[in-house]
């Protein structure tokens, strides 16, 4: 422990504590911009500088560790003047159009300006970085004039996700972060995961907004049928100001009905369907019917990453569509027929935690006769915006059930929202199908938690099934390299593109790992509260096989619920 003084207040902190951390322990707020609690220190913006006795210059509090006897002033006149000067320099390269920005009200630069009570015209004239607005991916919008060169997007894209779609361009006053060689994001290896959006402190990286596509159809001739992903019920209330981990299944249905959605279905239904299809596929491969290890295909960011960096291993991917893809196909076929509608008369909307789902919905493989299975993808943030724009008090809403026939999902479907969830859901079903025995404990602790890569061997009848789980594409790369080189010998692998799984998706409210734990706990709590916890025991799934699909992995199922993949490695050349 070391003894220090901050603003005349003495305290003891552990050796290695930064000035910023020490100040926070006293309840003293120091403004930051390039700093992010889940990233390494960059100390590039310098807005967090403080005065330390004996130092000739101000020091960045996010980077500098305290030492015995250190005396610090966090808001002295010298510090305040420096911060104002730095803020003016940052604003001189940042377009001033806050009212038209998607991050208005949640922008960290805006918050620092408010915190410093910056209420004057900057002394430095505005110099635009560029007027480039890149929305080519269909999922993410990059606006160069709003970049503040903090480097947070570069860090998450390179160090966490290992996608390398963003690079540092130019130097000094002209430095910016964007696609290499002034290309578009779509021309590079971007997988649309949206983690750069989560990391960006301003509106330089935002979600491609699709709400107008829905607003324009409300009250029109088309039937608006929506599906809602498992993790949306975990994160929507948080996006509307409630505590992380607040489950809001019934309220979100009520809110969507009041907005004007005609039908609100539960994607948990096709999560259960996925387990029947994927589990059957796995058993077939274990019997010599395909490439091993089999790798899950629910995460579109991961799928595009595999297509780009591991095209030689596409045969290892499960051919199952994601639950979103399966639902879209059923809405435009089975459900349309059951209510006497043509596919084009239904607006199929999905509400997802994931920006990459927008890209997935646009894939030609997820359409039939030129008609998309999913017409519009809304993220959690976009649905929250629609609820607010409708003047709905979300906290006071009553509960409403999801609509039949796709309103029933199991706890196994719910846990798709977290890393390890797809694996656990599959094991609950595969074990009982193979052995004919009932699992005494259906909670597989070996695949739970935020460890980057988890491995286990699970006895299933006479076979010891070797499994692995990875979340975050940096961890996926490590795992795939081991498989490619022959170092690892697995039967079944689950990969989620986003850290933490879907609860950490790019379309959710802005996150830190501090918020992720209550989200994860809420998922497992919700699973335990549901009457059904195994996919193969969902009677609605059994019924659709009996009435329409036939059998898992049968001809009809393959036609509607399975897909293929594309080699995208050309972008790396």
Q: Does 172 have pLDDT greater than 80?
A: no
Q: What are phi and psi of 408, to 5 degrees?
A: -105, 120
Q: Is pLDDT at 180 greater than 90 in this prediction?
A: no
The residues with which 250 forms a beta bridge, in sequence order, are none
Asked if residue 405 has pLDDT above 80, the reply is: yes
Express each pLDDT in 435-466 by its tens digit: 999 998 999 999 999 999 999 999 998 889 99
420 contacts 454 by C-beta, under 8 angstroms: yes
CB 147 within 8 A of CB 203: no
Say which residue the tokens 């009570």 belong to. Answer: 117
CATH for 125-205, among 1.25.60.10, 3.30.70.20, 3.40.190.10, 3.30.360.10? 3.30.70.20
DSSP code, position 500: T
> Which residues pair with residue 458 across a beta bridge?
465
Please state, in angstroms and rounded to a whole number, the distance separating the CA atoms of residues 491 and 468.
Answer: 9
Residue, of 119 and 283, whose pLDDT is higher = 283
Q: How confident is the model at residue 125 (pLDDT cuts 50, 70, 90)?
A: confident
Q: What is residue 176's predicted lDDT score, i.e. its pLDDT?
A: 83
CA distance linking residue 285 with residue 561, whole number of Å: 18
Mean pLDDT in residue range 242-265: 97
Instruction: Tell if the pTM clears 0.75, that is, is over it.
Output: yes
pLDDT at 478: 98
Are 278 and 426 in contact by the 8 Å Cβ rule? The answer is yes
> Using an 8 Å Cβ cutoff, are 223 and 345 in contact?
yes
If you average pLDDT over residues 230-253, what whole number do you get? 97
Q: 367-368 and 371-372: which strand pairing? A: antiparallel
Active-site annotation, residues: 278, 281, 298, 318, 357, 360, 365, 502
Residues above pLDDT 70, as percent of the chain: 100
Which tokens sit at 114?
């408010």
Strand, coil or helix: 232: helix
CATH of 212-569, one of 3.40.50.12780, 1.10.10.10, 3.40.950.10, 3.30.310.80: 3.40.950.10
Tell me which H or E stretch contains 59: strand 59-60
- Distance, CA of 335 to CA of 347 (rounded, Å): 12
The neighbour count for residue 464, using CB atoms within 10 Å, is 10
369-399 as b/e: b if 16+ CB within 10 A: eeebbbbbbbbbbbbbbbbeeeebebeebee
pLDDT on residue 175: 83
Please write the tens of the pLDDT for every residue from 375-398: 999 999 999 999 999 999 999 999
Burial of 106 (0-12, 13-18, 19+ CB in 10 A): middle
Q: Where are the domains of the chain?
A: 2-91, 125-205, 212-569
What is the average pLDDT across 264-282? 97
Which residues, 6+ apart, have CB-to-CB distance to 535 below 8 Å? Answer: 271, 272, 273, 274, 275, 276, 279, 410, 412, 413, 425, 428, 429, 541
Question: Which pLDDT score, from 0 to 100, does residue 362 have?
Answer: 96
**Nearest CA-CA partner of 159 in 478, 512, 484:** 478
What digits encode the pLDDT tens for the residues 527-566? 999 999 999 999 999 999 999 999 999 999 999 999 999 9
Average pLDDT over residues 99-113: 94
User: Cβ–Cβ contacts within 10 Å for residue 439, how many?
Assistant: 15
Q: Which tokens belong to 424? A: 């656990």
Cβ atoms of 520 and 499 within 8 Å: the answer is no
Residue with tokens 């503040």: 148
DSSP SS3 for 49: strand
pLDDT of residue 222: 97
User: What CATH architecture is 2-91?
Assistant: Roll (3.10)
Residue 570 to residues 130, 134, 313, 489, Cα–Cα distance (Å): 28, 21, 15, 29
Average pLDDT of the residues in 211-237: 97
R_g (Cα) of the chain, nearest Å: 25
Query: Where does 417-549 have alpha helices with state H?
Result: 421-435, 473-485, 513-529, 539-544
Judge contact between 185 and 165, C-beta under 8 A. yes
Whether 145 shows a pLDDT value over 90: the answer reads: yes
End-to-end CA gap in the chain? 52
If you search the block for the tokens 């006149």, which residue do you land on? 77
Neighbours of 122 (CB within 10 A): 16
pLDDT in tens, 470-480: 999 999 999 99
């Amino acid at each position: 422990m070391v003894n220090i003084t901050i603003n005349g207040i003495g305290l003891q902190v552990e050796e290695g504590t930064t000035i910023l951390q020490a100040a926070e322990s006293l309840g003293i707020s120091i403004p930051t911009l390039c700093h992010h609690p889940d990233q390494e220190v960059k100390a590039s913006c310098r807005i967090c500088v403080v005065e330390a006795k004996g130092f000739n210059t101000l020091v960045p509090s996010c980077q500098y560790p305290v030492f015995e006897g250190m005396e610090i002033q966090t808001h002295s006149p010298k510090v305040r003047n420096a911060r104002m000067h730095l803020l003016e320099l940052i604003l001189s390269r940042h377009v001033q159009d806050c009212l038209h920005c998607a991050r208005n009200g949640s922008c960290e630069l805006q918050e620092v300006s408010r915190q410093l009570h910056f209420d004057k015209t900057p002394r430095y004239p505005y110099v635009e970085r560029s007027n480039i607005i890149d929305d080519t991916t269909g999922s993410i919008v990059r606006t160069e004039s709003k970049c503040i060169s903090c480097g947070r997007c570069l860090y998450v894209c390179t160090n966490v996700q290992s996608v390398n779609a963003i690079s540092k361009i130019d130097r000094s006053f002209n430095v910016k972060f964007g696609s290499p060689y002034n290309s578009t994001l779509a021309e590079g290896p971007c997988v649309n995961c949206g983690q750069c959006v989560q990391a960006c402190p301003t509106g330089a990286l935002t979600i491609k907004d699709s709400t107008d596509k829905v607003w324009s159809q409300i009250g029109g001739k088309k039937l608006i049928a929506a599906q809602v992903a498992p993790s949306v019920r975990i994160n929507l209330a948080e996006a509307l100001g409630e505590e992380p981990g607040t489950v809001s299944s019934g309220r979100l249905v009520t809110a969507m009905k009041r907005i004007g959605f005609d039908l609100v279905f539960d994607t948990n239904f096709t999560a259960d369907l996925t387990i029947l299809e994927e589990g059957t596929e796995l058993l077939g491969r274990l019997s010599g019917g395909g490439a091993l290890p089999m790798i899950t295909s629910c995460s579109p960011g991961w799928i595009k990453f595999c297509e780009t960096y591991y095209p030689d291993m596409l045969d290892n991917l499960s051919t199952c569509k994601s639950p979103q893809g399966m639902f879209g196909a059923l809405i435009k076929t089975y459900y349309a027929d059951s209510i006497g509608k043509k596919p084009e008369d239904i607006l199929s909307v999905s509400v997802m935690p994931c920006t990459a789902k927008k890209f997935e919905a646009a894939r030609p493989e997820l359409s039939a006769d030129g008609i998309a299975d999913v017409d519009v993808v809304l993220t959690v943030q976009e649905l929250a915006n629609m609820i607010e724009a409708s003047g709905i008090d979300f906290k006071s809403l009553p509960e409403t059930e999801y609509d039949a026939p796709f309103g029933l999902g199991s706890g196994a479907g719910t846990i798709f929202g977290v890393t390890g969830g797809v694996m656990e859901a599959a094991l609950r079903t595969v074990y009982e199908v193979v052995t004919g025995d009932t699992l005494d404990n259906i909670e597989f602790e070996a695949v739970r938690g935020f460890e980057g890569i988890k491995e286990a061997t699970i006895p299933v009848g006479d076979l010891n099934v070797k499994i692995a789980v990875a979340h975050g594409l940096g961890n996926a790369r490590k795992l795939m390299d081991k498989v490619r080189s022959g170092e690892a010998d697995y039967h079944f692998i689950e990969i989620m593109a986003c850290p933490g799984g879907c609860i950490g998706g790019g379309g959710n409210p802005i996150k830190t790992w501090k918020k992720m734990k209550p989200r994860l706990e809420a998922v497992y709590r919700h699973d335990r509260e549901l009457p059904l916890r195994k996919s193969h025991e969902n009677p609605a799934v059994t019924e659709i096989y009996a009435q329409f699909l036939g059998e898992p992995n049968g001809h009809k199922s393959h036609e509607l619920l399975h897909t293929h993949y594309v080699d995208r490695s050309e972008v790396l050349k």
